[in-house]
Structure 1
Amino acid sequence: MKASVSEILEEVETVKSALAEDNPRNARAFQLRTRLCLLLEELLLTDLEFALDKKVEQELWNSAFRNPIAAFQVKSTDKKERANGESHTMLSTLLETASGFYLQLFQKLCSVYDISFKYRLKDLDFGILQWVKHDDPNVEKPKKSSVLYICQHCLVHLGDIARYRGQSLQAENFYRHAVDMGPRNGHPYNQLALLEAASGEKLSAVFFHVRSLALLHPFPAAATNLSKLYSKMVSDSAASIGKTKMSPYEYTTAFLQFHAHIYLHTEMSRAEGVLGSLTSSLPALVMVEKLDTWQLLQMVAICMFSQQHCTAQAPSPTDSSSTAGPPRKNAQHLLLDLVASMLHAFLLPMHALQDPRDMRDCCSVPVVKLVLDWLLHKQELLRSEPFIRKPQVWHGFCKLLNGLLAVLPAEFPKDKFSTIPLPEDWDVQCFTPLQEAHSNLCFENAPKLTKGEIGDLRASRLLDLAEMLSQVVMNGKNVVVLTTETPPRYIASHYTEAMRNQVMKQIQQLSIEPEGDSRRPEKSVSEVRFKLENDGHTVKAGEPEKRGIKGTTSIKDRRPTRNVAMQIPGQSNHKVDEKPWHHQHFPRTSSSGSRVSFHLPPTANGQPLNGPAAPLTFDPGVAPMPPPQPQPHFSLADTGGGQQAAAAQQASSFVPGSLAGPTMGPSYLWNYFVPTPVGPMAAPAAGPQPPPLLYLGTSQPMVAPQLENLLRQQQQHQQQQQQQQQQQQQQQQQQQQQQQQQQQQQQQQQQQQ
């Protein structure tokens, strides 16, 4: 007879108590964890709403996996434990088990609750029988939002486990799928930020933390992570004050330092100095596209969030006891001053471009649309003093509008595309500062647009924004006016000839040479041109380390030293890995910092030879991972058999298949203890392939060719070292002989004297 929910909960508490008192390394602890997984899994599959109310999913992660992982991490820091590698091997086994458990739990949830996920293979494709749910009339039918939440929860933890194992590409894919399943939930965005923070991409890390917070369901830990990032930037902001020319790396660093002062509300006088450097340096970088569309979009989104944060922190007008009013007002003024200067810089290329098609395809135009979407739906910001002081902004916008009027076909069916998001809209989907602007867009089942359709639709949307802007009055005049002449033209009401001469002089004086910054080589202008589509190159099956990007980028090797987390499958009708963060550019120069380097290539099962890498920082849920174990070197004096045995011992210490099978537990746990031979992969089927919800099955020991290559490389390395030592010894002997000869000559000369 099937146990009731209350009986399952009682047994869960009993197992938890026994597990807390037991050593996590012995066999009984493994059996208890397996039993706990089965019980909590049964609760999730039986009565989901009740299980979520009791936070069963958090109990499952913490008790069955996170706490044992933390215990093994502590053990691995001991010198004796690191010497024998037992704790490290058990940690690798536990991570492998956790990955298999959550992947099968995800499959069961989708089958039992009938969730159609485009990127998920059916159970029968894995050779698993279809799961059938027996409806219980006494059990409440779960809401769709609850089912999507628990599925997203599984995907996020699958990404976390891959992250702890050093598999950054696998982690990124799981996080992307999690975002696609629930774009209004901030948890997967926070995990993407952890990937970026670990790789040194501070701008992207801040952007994804901002995305994690500015949503309908924000992730609370992201606020702490963002504060930690900003706190480290505030102390270095003095170096950015007074510069008039910056490299892209310097600019993004100064940009984040400015926002650190605004967010933490500290040393506002220093923030004003950094603002002056940002205002004077940005036009040159935009003119030659040293900052690409993705970086500009990230900066604009961070500005929008900072303004929303300042508004939320400002005291109410009726609160007379608060003393935070004037400083907060000053922070908002500085932010709007920066936004106005950025908008002017984005539109500055329109004064230099002659071809209207070049204006339409300029890399800053998508970001101009986002800024105006935001301002025109918050017109109190548009009428603020910083925008009143910069009427030249609107003349640049009129230059763009007149170019768009010339290239937009008269027969363009605007109504047909009225609800279709543009690529820049996908990049900030569900972003609360743009919620009102995106209220009429439909992000579900949106059709795929061609390059020409994207350009024409963006031009049409900008002309619609121009109509809204023509109704805005500043100082008694409309901001822009459409003339009645033929052909019609847009003009800025507050623009004068003196302003025009000033803008043209500014363009002529622009220079992008940085002041003494030689840390990062920059690309030529031609390499950072913004393109809407790639060259049609597609990813072949069996190439997991390459990624194709629709619309903006070319294929680039996904090396272990790169850890980019800027993609998301946003449209449900797109192919695998086809829907990116649209304006992310490859290849491109990193905006800040360097990527994390992994010294060894992955083995056959995709895991580094040195075991799981350290987890990424700013994760409040998991303790630090132990450092990787040093690799043993094989002596040249060993025989071939001894070398192979040593190599096999090294490989087996990280392959869980060498351990004995468990005495109990479901079949998916057996795969991690009993090695299963895996045959050659079948030829890929024609047509689009499903994404790798990236679990490849049982762990495989290293095959003979890999061991031979490893031994050969180590032998060559040792031979080179021996040759170098011999050369050094010969040189020392020659020097000694020369010294002896010199001494003899000196003695002979003394005797002659």
Structure 2
Amino acid sequence: MMIVQMDKMSALSPRERAQHLYEKNLELENKRRRSAQARVPSDPNAWQQMRENYEAIILEDHSFSEQHNIEYSLWQLHYRRIEELRAYYSAALASTGSNAPPGPKVPARPDRINKIRLQFKTFLSEATGFYHDLIVKIRVKYGLPLGYFSDDTDNRAVMETDVKKGLVSCHRCLIYLGDLARYKGLYGDGDSKTREYAAASSYYLQAASVWPLSGNPHHQLAILASYSGDELAAVYRYFRSLAVDNPFATARDNLIVAFEKNRLSYTQLLGDAKISGVKDSPVRLTGKGRGKGEANPASKDMKLEAGALKEKTSKIREMHKSFCVRFVRLNGILFTRTSLETFSEVLALVSSGLSELLSSGPEEELNFGADASENGLFIVRLISILIFTVHHVKKEAEGQTYAEIVQRAVLLQNAFTAVFEFMGHILDRCAQLRDPSSSYLLPGVLVFVEWLACCPDIASGSDIDEKQSAVRLNFWNHCISFLNKIVPCCSMSLDENEDETCFFNMSRYEEGETENRLALWEDFELRGFSPLLPAHGILDFSRKHLFGSDGSKEKIARVKRILAVGKALANMVRIDQQTIYFDSKMKKFVIGAKPQISDDGLLRAADVIQEMRSEETMNLVALQPNPPPYTEGEEDDEVIVFKPVVTEKRNNVLSPKWPPHEGLKPSRNASADDLHFYGTSASAPLDNLRQQAAFDAGSQISASPGSIGPPAYTTYPASYFKVVS
């Protein structure tokens, strides 16, 4: 009879077999419900039969499985059993009186509790084995390699639909495996709890790697973070869960709950500060790393030194904890759109706390974690939270009322102010370091500048208020200083004709060129993050990745990408109506008028003069917001003029009484393509200047007497000039 039934099944098509099994499970489920209503035991084999049927449907017909959500039904079959065992366990605990309300306590039954706990763990272990086996079967069906998942399989999934189907199924199984490990941890103790939570985190991270565009694994990681009370990590993961192509809807509701808990923590933090009578601001760190050159006084008492070190470590830990609470509160205000009147106060506290934790001086202090890797990860997450806050506030919503439009404008101004103020602190710190290319801050800087280059409207900063304008100006000053600090850190050339990174000519990379396409650990960490998708499109994620394993190749690639993004940003940013550009001769980023090359390859003499004046009169690092305008009759400290090449022997141009500028010396061995500059005081006759420029240009300069306004200059070939310093 059984053989006949199996023959009939084998004669059916995959869709017909899947349909038959599905109907069989519906029948078994109805029997189970009737038994539960009648309070009679159900068939003990029915549960196992249903699980086997669901597994067969998944492997028989993928489209049918997706249509009827079979993978979720299979998980719900396990979850119902988990809920039953959890209820038995809770009832057993209550019977001991440990969780019972005040009153007479029932005698303890530890043997019963241990028995249920053992039964629970046994089921979870068996279910874990089942899902491991299911992943192997799915991989065999779809031709996926066995062993650990690697990112090259995901690249294949883009091209092969069947492979993608298998990867998505494995992704879900990995999340269920993570949940099973998480339940083991909840009902474990000591090392067992820690071990199972680590296993759960590993499963969730694998699931995120297999399908980076899904928000589900990040939501589960947020739950794990909440177990340990890490509010900042939880918010980061909830944000990641929402900022993907396939967001996890439940994350928003849980995020609101997390922000409400944080609001209470923040209120308590303020209350504790008032009770203690201490001003609500971080304690300033002292000692090594503050950039003041102090040395701890020599002491014979090692206990005192150890005590001082312990006290300092404790202060840093408390500062870090307070900073995290305040930082989450700041983003909670912008996300929930409540308590906006407190934003400035919270921002001031968070900004001050960040400055203190960043420390100062030429060497770094690891105040955000135990080692450089933890510090780097913390900064990347910090910046990612700020990016998502802007991303979330910036999203347009249809049908907004006037009040909502006004509120959104205020939220955007606040969000921009926060992100540029924080990044100004970080870039300022980077510029102070002896070797910024090795700083744990650099991965976060790369994340921010690439996001900024993906959002030209945010980078250009149109329609900004006075406060935000000051913060942006401070940010760009620090940014230029930082970029110039890292230019010597690598041997790259930033010539005008060099290809950019992914922001320009993405299709022009050669097949063998991988240095600029090398995916770094921060790229893996933020893979699938919607605000950064344009920047990640060109990167190569196929190599094996180990967190915190940066070598010289990775460091150089990071610096090159930052410098290339700096050039991209220079094309879209104006500072007080002035441009930012990279001067390939000076090998530095400059704020000012960029020399223009005409269509026929000629360099305008006016631009050369303007550039030289800018070098003499303008501080490129600390800009003045509004330089005083030039007024007629005003005298310049120095006037730059041209000297003809020596070989042409024009003797009637310069007055013999004209004193040369001591910093600019003439050359006696000039070639035909050299340009030499002389400097003079403003008291030199302006007529001589005009005669010289007119003589060199081969045409008469028309300008009214006593005026040094812009004349109609004649252009010269770029090869004709050379700056002598």
Post-superposition offset of 1:450: 5.8
For the pair 1:228 / 2:257, whether they are aligned, the reply is yes
**Residue-by-residue CA offset, 1:515-551 (whole Å, 9 max, x unaligned):** xxxxxxxxxxxxxxxxxxxxxxxxxxxxxxxxxxxxx
The correspondence for 2:171, drawn from 132, 147, 152, is: 152
- Counterpart CA distance in 2 for 1:297 and 1:69 is 37
Which of residues 9, 30, 37 is equivalent to 2:51?
A: 37
Q: Which residue of 2 aligns with 1:52?
A: 66
The equivalent of 1:301 in structure 2 is 384
Give 1:116 deviation, angstroms. 1.8
Correspondence for 1:434 among 532, 551, 557: 532
Tell me which residue corresponds to 1:345.
425
- Label 1:442 to 1:258 Cα distance change in 2 as closer, same or farther (>3 A): same
User: How is 1:338-487 mapped onto 2 (pairs within 5 angstroms)?
Assistant: 338-353=418-433, 355=434, 358-384=435-461, 385=464, 388-390=469-471, 391-410=473-492, 415-445=513-543, 451-474=551-574, 477-483=577-583, 485=585, 487=586
Structure with the bigger percentage of helix: 2
Q: Matches of 2:183 and 2:336 in 1, distance apart?
A: 31
Query: Which residue of structure 2 aligns with residue 255 of structure 1?
Result: 327
Change (3 A) 1:499 1:149: closer
Change beyond 3 A, Cα 1:410–1:329 = closer
Residues 326 and 176 from structure 1, CA distance in 2 versus in 1: closer, same or farther, beyond 3 angstroms?
A: same
Paired residues of 2:179 and 2:200 also in contact (CA < 8 A):
yes
> Which structure ranks higher in relative contact order (CA pairs < 8 Å, sequence separation ≥ 6)?
1
Task: Give the structure 2 partner of residue 329 of structure 1.
Answer: 409
Q: For residue 644 of structure 1, what is the aligned residue in structure 2?
A: none
Q: Which residue of 2 aligns with 1:161?
A: 180
Structure 2 counterpart of 1:14:
27
| CA distance in 2 between partners of 1:447 and 1:163 (Å) | 25
CA distance in 1, matches of 2:40, 2:578: 77
Any conservation in 1 of the 2:459–2:569 contact (CA below 8 Å)? Answer: no
Query: Does structure 2 retain, via aligned residues, the 8 Å contact 1:472–1:478?
Result: no
Q: Which shifted more, 24-33 or 196-205? A: 24-33
Whether 2:300 is the aligned partner of 1:200: answer: no
Change (3 A) 1:244 1:379: farther
- Change over 3 Å in CA distance of 1:170–1:280 after alignment to 2: closer
Match of 1:70 among 77, 83, 98: 83
CA distance in 2 between partners of 1:498 and 1:405 (Å): 15
Query: Cα–Cα, structure 1 residues 320 and 342, in superposed 2: closer, same or farther, change >3 Å?
Result: closer
Q: For the residues of structure 2 that align with 1:27 and 1:94, how far apart are their CA atoms?
A: 19
1:410 CA drift (Å): 4.4
**CA 280–264 in structure 1, closer or farther in 2 if over 3 Å, else same:** same
Among 470, 475, 489, the residue aligned to 2:588:
489
Identity of aligned residues (%): 20
TM-score by length of 2: 0.61
Distance 1:410 1:149, change over 3 A: closer
DSSP-derived class of the 1:185 partner: coil
Q: Name the CA distance, whole Å, in 2 between partners of 1:479 and 1:446.
A: 41
For 2:75 and 2:337, locate their aligned partners in 1 and report how far apart those are by CA, in whole Å: 37
Q: 1:280 aligns with which of 348, 352, 356?
A: 352
Whole-Å Cα distance in 2 between the matches of residues 43 and 15 of structure 1? 15
Query: d(CA) in 2 for partners of 1:389 and 1:376?
Result: 21
How many Å separate the matches in 2 of 1:416 and 1:54? 43
Deviation at 1:477, TM superposition (A): 3.2
Describe the shift of the 1:48–1:333 C-alpha distance in structure 2 as closer, same or farther (beyond 3 A).
same
Per-residue CA deviation, residues 450-473 of structure 1 (Å, 9 max, x unaligned), is 611111111111111121122234
- Would the aligned equivalents of 2:265 and 2:325 in 1 still touch at CA under 8 Å? no
How far residue 57 of structure 1 moved from its aligned partner, in angstroms, is: 1.0
SS of match in other structure, 1:218: coil
Q: Distance in 2 between matches of 1:30 and 1:95?
A: 18
Q: Distance in 2 between matches of 1:417 and 1:77?
A: 56
C-alpha distance in 2 between matches for 1:49 and 1:151: 15
Q: CA deviation at 1:398?
A: 2.4
SS of corresponding position for 2:517: coil
* Counterpart Cα distance in 1 of 2:341 and 2:85: 48
The separation in 2 between residues aligned to 1:492 and 1:450, in whole angstroms, is: 33
* Pairing partner for 2:343 from 271, 277, 286: 271
> How far off is 1:491 after superposition?
3.3
What displacement does 1:274 show? 0.4
Contact 2:175 2:203 (C-alpha < 8 Å) held by counterparts: yes
State how far apart, in whole Å, the 2-side matches of 1:19 and 1:329 are.
Answer: 56
Write the deviation string for residues 286-331 of structure 1: whole angstroms up to 9, x where unpaired: 134423221111111111111121122x445xx4744211112111
What amino acid is the match of 2:469? I
Once residues 474 and 498 of structure 1 are traced to their aligned partners in structure 2, the CA distance between those partners, rounded to angstroms, is: 14
Match of 1:310 in 2: 393
User: Deviation at 1:275?
Assistant: 0.9
Are 1:377 and 1:436, in contact at CA under 8 Å, matched by a contact in 2? yes
Per the alignment, in what secondary structure is the counterpart of residue 537 of structure 2? coil
Alignment match, 2:509? none
Aligned-partner residue type, residue 265 of structure 1: R
- The answer to which of 81-90 and 417-426 deviates more is 81-90
CA distance, structure 2, for counterparts of residue 192 and residue 5 of structure 1? 34
- For the pair shown, which has the larger CA radius of gyration, 1 or 2? 2
Further displaced range: 256-265 or 407-416: 407-416
Partner of 2:600: none
Structure 1 residues 10 and 239: CA distance shift in structure 2, 3 A: closer
State the distance in 1 between where 2:621 and 2:483 align.
Answer: 19
Equivalence map 1:311-710=2 (5 Å):
311-312=394-395, 314-316=396-398, 319=399, 321-353=401-433, 355=434, 358-384=435-461, 385=464, 388-390=469-471, 391-410=473-492, 415-445=513-543, 451-474=551-574, 477-483=577-583, 485=585, 487-493=586-592, 500=622
2:161, 2:581 → 1: CA distance?
Answer: 55
- Counterpart of 2:533, as a letter, is Q
Determine the C-alpha separation between the residues in 1 that align with 2:623 and 2:575.
23
Stretches of structure 1 lacking an aligned partner (at least 5 in a row): 122-140, 503-753
Distance in 2 between residues matched to 1:350 and 1:300, nearest whole Å: 15
Q: Secondary structure at the match of 2:535?
A: coil
Of residues 379-388 and 255-264 in structure 1, the stretch that sits farther from structure 2 once superposed is 379-388
- Residues in 2 aligned to 1:336 and 1:230: alpha-carbon distance in whole angstroms: 20
Matched residue type, 1:392: N
Structure 1 residue 474, shift from structure 2 partner? 2.5
1 CA distance for matches of 2:443 and 2:514? Answer: 20
1:173 corresponds in structure 2 to: 202
Query: How far apart, CA to CA, are the structure 1 residues paired with 2:228 and 2:483?
Result: 40
Q: Is this contact kept in 2: 1:240–1:277, CA < 8 A?
A: no
What TM-score results when the alignment is normalised by the length of structure 1?
Answer: 0.58
The one-letter amino acid of 2:282's match is: K
Q: Which amino acid aligns with 1:32?
A: A
SS in 2 for 1:490: strand
Q: How many residue pairs were aligned? A: 476
User: What is the rounded CA distance, in whole Å, between the counterparts of 1:5 and 1:490 in structure 2?
Assistant: 65
Give the direction of change, closer, same or farther, for the CA distance of 1:37–1:427 in structure 2 (3 Å limit): same
Inter-CA distance 387–273: structure 2 relative to 1 (3 Å threshold)? closer
Residues 413 and 468, structure 2, Cα contact 8 Å, conserved in 1? no
Describe the shift of the 1:501–1:482 C-alpha distance in structure 2 as closer, same or farther (beyond 3 A). Answer: closer
